[in-house]
Amino acid sequence: MIGKLIEGIKRTGAPIVVGLDPQMKFIPASVKKEAYDKYGETLEGAAESFFLFNKAIVDAVCDLVPAVKPQVAMYEALGIPGLQAFKRTVDYCHEKGLLVIGDVKRGDIGSTSLAYATAHLGSVEIGGKKVEPFGEDFATVNPYLGSDGVKPFVDVCRENNKGIFVLVKTSNPSSGEFQDREVDGKPLYELVGEKVREWGEDAMDDSGYSEVGAVVGATYPEMGAKLRKVMPKSFILVPGYGAQGGTGKDLVPFFNEDGLGAIVNSSRGIIAAWQKERYASFGEAAFADASRQAVLDMKKDIGEALGK
């Protein structure tokens, strides 16, 4: 699957993933009205507004980027209707030719971890027929429980040609409370990076990159440079661009000399672009066009930083 992601990045010239993390405050009144007219001011109505919002943005940007990253928590907040909107979003993105990174941050042990992996990356057999529950192409994984929690995901990836991104150094300000602690003379995030490299040795793709990638925040470029060397064959999913303060120049250390090795996420900076002063001229009705422009501006920023 990482090979398909690389193909998409090369085709679009955009190492960018759009975070589809809808919140009611981001959704224009016209979209809410359409959803509420159909389902009322209910969980079903709110979930419908999420899907309609996502659909419009996907239609506007699908030719510009290779992938999207829906954050499942936003959908879970709306209960079962929200999860149905999550699945509809995954399916629609696939229809538009996009790869989907399920931002689910799962991690447990044994059969429980296998069940999480199966839900998001695998399939279940029902009456002799195999069915994909959610069907994402990649998932984010929490490594806190160690190999017992990650190996089931790696196994499912190998069986289904899927991939994962393991949390290594996250972009949030308090990440250092644990991740920066020294263990045997090294920061914990570096030790996790070494395990990512090890787990990835059993899941190499013909592209030369592993199906086991890492999440490393754009807000920590110096650590990103160190981890790039620790995990030379792992793709890095880089959150923290835009709304969290990361800029194009901060991203350079995350890439390899071949210009690959990283894909940068922006969520609020793209899907809520219409609410920002920079894109105010688009207006509420053209919210999806504002998102498209935000992607174009992000692509230009990253390209200039990488000398492209």
Identify the bridge partners of residue 214 per DSSP, sorted by sequence position. Answer: 166, 236
Which pair of structure tokens corresponds to residue 109?
Answer: 């042990």
Both structure tokens of 231: 């995990």
227 contacts: CB under 8 Å, gap ≥ 6: 168, 169, 189, 190, 193, 214, 216, 236
Phi then psi for residue 218, to 5 deg, are: -65, -20
Half-sphere exposure of residue 43: CA atoms within 13 angstroms, side-chain side: 12
Query: Could you give the CA distance from residue 243 to residue 226 in angstroms, rounded to a whole number?
Result: 24
Question: Length of the chain in residues, anyone?
Answer: 308
Q: Which of 105, 151, 186, 276 is catalytic?
A: 105
Q: Is 303 helix (H, G, I), strand (E, B) or coil?
A: helix
Verify whether residue 105 is a known catalytic residue.
yes
**Other beta carbons less than 10 A from residue 41's beta carbon:** 10
> Do the Cβ atoms of 39 and 85 come closer than 8 Å?
no
For residue 154, the SS3 value is helix
Interior angle at CA 56, CA 77 and CA 274, nearest 5: 85
Write out the DSSP string of 106-122. E---HHHHHHHHHHHHS
Phi, psi torsion values for 184, nearest 5 degrees: 55, 40
Q: Are 73 and 109 in contact (CB under 8 A)?
A: no
Active-site residue set: 105
